[in-house]
Amino acid sequence: MLSISVLGANGRMGRNLIKAIAEDPHTSLHSGTVREASPLLGIDAGVAVGITEQNVKLDTLTNTQVDDLNVVIDFTLPVVLSNHLDWCVQHQLPIVIGTTGLNAEQQVALNKASQHIPIVFAANYSVGVNLLIKLAQQTAQVMGDSADIEIIEAHHRHKIDAPSGTALALGKGIAEAIERDHDKVAIYGREGHTGERKQDTIGYATVRGGDVVGDHTVLFADIGERIELTHKASSRMTFAKGAVRAAKWVRNQPAGLYSMMDVLGL
């Protein structure tokens, strides 16, 4: 039985992670953390997310004991990532990270921690999205020399970063597959007199509204034909189950930085 701690247990993803762990016969919830001022402190994790009691009371990370803990899952915010990484390194615990929107300093902290513990870091833990990235790379290798490549993503009104981490993962994966420098070819917005589109660019379009969980489309538009590859998520449980799958995989890995592609063998 894999014992998992969920950081940010009261967040949208944290709640779904607790449910996913409870539904998986091979995992159990070791602990769930919340902020020091959270009104959920001391509340049973199951009750907090609307399922049966899990006999685990929500607490702060500082008070979390590591006895019998196997893996940590973190879908919180970039600003606290370094502290979470330090805590995991201190206790030699593998971690699965789904936090997006990292800056350069936070990325450095991630790479440094991976020298000491195994880390799975992915913008999206959906099995379907990772298949989408693979299919987009294959399509780009066939059509990339002539087709215009655009990535369109839509998310709920509460999402704070744009483009989404998944959209960027798609763009970077495509750029790698056709040997382009993503930072030089990425176009994040168009307004006014933009001039003719350069064929070697990769465009991003962002939509925010309502409760959209996550839609991503990669458009390969050539003269006379186009291919559209689309993934639509209807529930965050898709991501939560993928993260739990990653947790089961990373437990037995050596120190290093891994992706969901590694977990799925893609």
Residues with catalytic roles = 155, 159
- C-alpha pair distances (Å), 140 with each of 77, 106, 180, 259: 32, 30, 11, 21
Cβ(232)–Cβ(215) below 8 Å: yes
- Cβ proximity of 18 and 12 under 8 Å: no
Nearest to 6 by CA among 111, 97, 78: 97
HEC string of the chain? CEEEEEECCCCHHHHHHHHHHHHCCCEEEEEEECCCCCCCCCCEHHHHHCCCCCCCECECCCCCCCCCCCEEEECCCHHHHHHHHHHHHHHCCCEEECCCCCCHHHHHHHHHHCCCCEEEECCCCCHHHHHHHHHHHHHHHHHCCCCEEEEEEEECCCCCCCCCHHHHHHHHHHHHHCCCCHHHHEECCCCCCCCCCCCCCEEEEEEECCCCCEEEEEEEEECCEEEEEEEEECCCHHHHHHHHHHHHHHCCCCCEEECHHHHHCC
